[in-house]
Amino acid sequence: MSEIAKTPEPPYYAVIFTSLRTEGDNGYSEMAERMVKFASQQPGFLGVESAKESVGITVSYWSDLESIKTWKQNAEHLIAQKQGREAWYKEFKIRISKVERDYGFAQN
């Protein structure tokens, strides 16, 4: 996930997931990779950006709220969510937002 997501013209949705992890990996890395792979295959998925220092921030982009809801209820994802609460995260916050406007810059 080393790129800026190539999203379409707004409006679309962004799920901003900010987290503080517990110590150790505890199977997190493998599951995180699986979840990004699965999410990317879901209808309505537009892209994802992720970085972690003291907090981890993952922003996933979606075409509509229904796609976000469907992904939230995906069976594999529900298992990951459970492990997240039990083992991986000290704290997290999820914000569902509607992107109304975007602009960018790229060096020539």
Binding site for a copy of itself (CB under 8 A): 1-5, 7, 10, 14, 16, 18-20, 22, 49-57, 59, 84-85, 89-107
CA distance 90 to 77: 19
Query: Cβ atoms within 10 A of the Cβ of 21, count?
Result: 19
CB of 47 to a copy of itself, least distance (A): 10
CB of 19 to a copy of itself, least distance (A): 8
Of residues 1 and 76, the one with the C-beta less far from a copy of itself = 1
